[in-house]
Amino acid sequence: MQKKITTEIVIAYSVCLRKAFLLLCSNEKGAAHEFLKILQLNKEACQKDYIEALKEQGHDIRPYNIDELKKGRAYLANATITIENLAADCGVLRKAKAGSSPGRFSYEPVSFTGTQSIEKEDKLALMFAGVLLERIQNKWPERGMIASIDKKTCAIKLDKCHKIITPILEQLQEWAHSLSPEPPPLILNRHCPYCQFQNLCTAKAEQDDNLSLLDGISTPKAIRQYEKRGIFTVKQLSYLFKPKKKRKDAKRSSLATHKVELQALAIRTGQIYLQEVPVISRQPVELFLDIEGVPDRQEHYLIGLLVYDGETSSHHSFWADTRENEALIWQQFLEKVEQFPDAPVYHYGSYEPRAIEKLEKRYASREEEIKRRLVNINTFIYGKIYFPVRTNGLKDIGKFIGASWSAPNASGLQSLVWRHRWEETHEPEYKQLLITYNEEDCRALKLLTDELSNINDRPDAISSSAFARQAQRSPPKLGLSKNDNPLHHQLNTILNFSYSNGVVA
């Protein structure tokens, strides 16, 4: 059976070679994340609305086929442009004035997306349709259109699409025509949470102790650099870490550097390693902030604030049913924060400061005082503290220190699904899922902040410099027999020398 290269596979190639290979050359189906199913339904609705609008304007819309294309119909709908083993999906073909082989006309592709923003994957799908359309009509479409779910259209020039699509098709055709193609290396990346093969690839990566399990190694280039040194697993990587003595005259750098070797060592030993001792100025009253939104729509529908006053705490949820309610919850949040003028506002990562910046501009409010009170807990961790987890995400670190989430699939991506379901049905269970998830994020942040304040007291927290000194003072007993065999003496010398440089067996 001929392997067909589809739009889905071309897009997959742009985000993960392994995903494209599995779609093209395997029988694996996987399980698509519910969020992707929602995007597909949105895309189909967007296409339907576009076609209905054309009909209301009096346009004659015909289903796509080659005969209708040669007749020069104004619009052709639901096009799947097929040439040999290539098949590009294109919602609509629109007639243009430029001549082509069928006549004094040609066609330009119109594709659709289930979001309000136009992503690179949307452009790639349009380009693929443009390349196949050129082969049919012997005329490059000068441009194409992408229509988004908010009924806006964006024109995309297609004059350079051949340079982008051709290298992708060459590799895919090589796989398609090979009897037993070699799969590309497994590299986990940021697309994994969206992918139907996530569980399959993660299980394989864990079995192989794959380097890309670490958040800091997610590109082929990074993997190749370690492979050239004979490093293929996280465990092997952990032996590369060599603590360096701090020079007294060395200038202190304000830029922290994340060392994946030390991260790997922390995972292997199950211990916390300190490059720098965290110093957090705690206050009698503290606020812990977490904001939920829909990034594609630039909307913020839930602001959660945990107020901690000594031994008591209270969580406040400011919920917006619609975009029109966003101004109200912003004002409610500001009023609550202003009740505690001396309290720091802790958050994790860059999302909350960006959200506050957007809301401040959107509603013409000047909140310099609140922005000065923001404290990003992630800055006390990145490049400074290494927990024995694969990423510095709040979920990974939180679970290690004892935080928990009620929903087993709780994540930022899943929260988008819950919000969509609530907007569709207004079922209270979805709203409660989001409020609970938001509160648990705030409480995990509080727990992490406490952990950082007390981390020096943990028995599994080790200063990397102390680790170096210990290694240099106390070389291990290597268990080699003490006899006159010169080979044993040589091995002892080699192993002891490697240990004195900070590498633990």
With a cut of 70, say whether residue 484 has pLDDT above it. no
What average pLDDT does the chain have?
89
The pLDDT of 305-311, averaged and rounded, is 93
pLDDT value for 482? 44
The answer to whether 216 and 188 are in contact (CB under 8 A) is no
Kindly state whether residues 305 and 173 are assigned to the same domain. no
Q: Which token pair is 23?
A: 């779609």
**pLDDT tens column, 4-52:** 999 999 999 999 999 999 999 999 988 889 999 999 999 999 999 999 9
Report in angstroms the alpha-carbon separations of 91 from 72, 76, 109: 17, 8, 8
Q: Is residue 299 part of a domain?
A: yes
Q: Is residue 478 part of a domain?
A: no
pLDDT value for 68? 87
Cβ neighbors of 421 (< 8 A, separation 6 or more) are 427, 430
The pLDDT of 471-493, averaged and rounded, is 46
The pLDDT of 361-383, averaged and rounded, is 92
Q: Is residue 280 part of a domain?
A: no
Kindly state whether residues 172 and 291 are assigned to the same domain. no
Q: Is residue 158 part of a domain?
A: yes
Q: Give the domain CATH number at 33.
A: 3.90.320
HSE-CB of 467 using CA atoms within 13 angstroms: 21
The pLDDT of 92-119, averaged and rounded, is 88
Q: Is residue 499 part of a domain?
A: no
**pLDDT tens column, 166-196:** 999 999 999 999 988 999 999 999 999 999 9
SS3 assignment, position 111? strand
Domain end among 157, 177, 197: 177
Q: Is residue 70 part of a domain?
A: yes
**pLDDT tens column, 225-263:** 999 999 999 999 999 998 876 665 555 555 778 999 999
Number of domains in the chain: 2
Domain end among 177, 212, 234: 177
pLDDT value for 254? 58
The DSSP 8-state label assigned to residue 244 in this structure reads -
Place of tokens 């659709």: 112
Cβ neighbors of 30 (< 8 A, separation 6 or more) are 22, 195, 196, 197, 198, 199, 200
With a cut of 80, say whether residue 385 has pLDDT above it. yes
With a cut of 70, say whether residue 496 has pLDDT above it. no
DSSP letter for each residue of 28-87:
------HHHHHHHHHHHHHHHHHHHHHHHTT--EEE--HHHHHHT-SEEEEEEEEETTEE
Q: Is residue 198 part of a domain?
A: no
Q: Is residue 491 part of a domain?
A: no
Q: Give the domain CATH number at 323.
A: 3.30.420.10
> Residue 503 — very low, low, confident or very high, per pLDDT cuts 50/70/90?
very low
pLDDT value for 343? 96
**pLDDT tens column, 411-432:** 999 999 999 999 999 999 999 9
pLDDT value for 85? 94
**pLDDT tens column, 272-295:** 999 988 999 999 999 999 999 999
The pLDDT of 98-109, averaged and rounded, is 82
pLDDT value for 495? 47
Kindly state whether residues 331 and 450 are assigned to the same domain. yes
Domain end among 127, 160, 177: 177
Place of tokens 């990034």: 295
pLDDT value for 473? 45
Q: What are phi and psi of 443, to 5 degrees?
A: -70, -35
Domain that holds residue 357: 285-457
The pLDDT of 109-121, averaged and rounded, is 94
**pLDDT tens column, 188-232:** 999 999 999 999 999 999 999 999 999 989 899 999 999 999 999
Q: What share of the chain is helix, strand, coil (3-state, %, to 5)?
A: 45, 20, 35
Which range among 91-105, 132-146, 373-387 shows the weakest confidence by mean pLDDT? Answer: 91-105
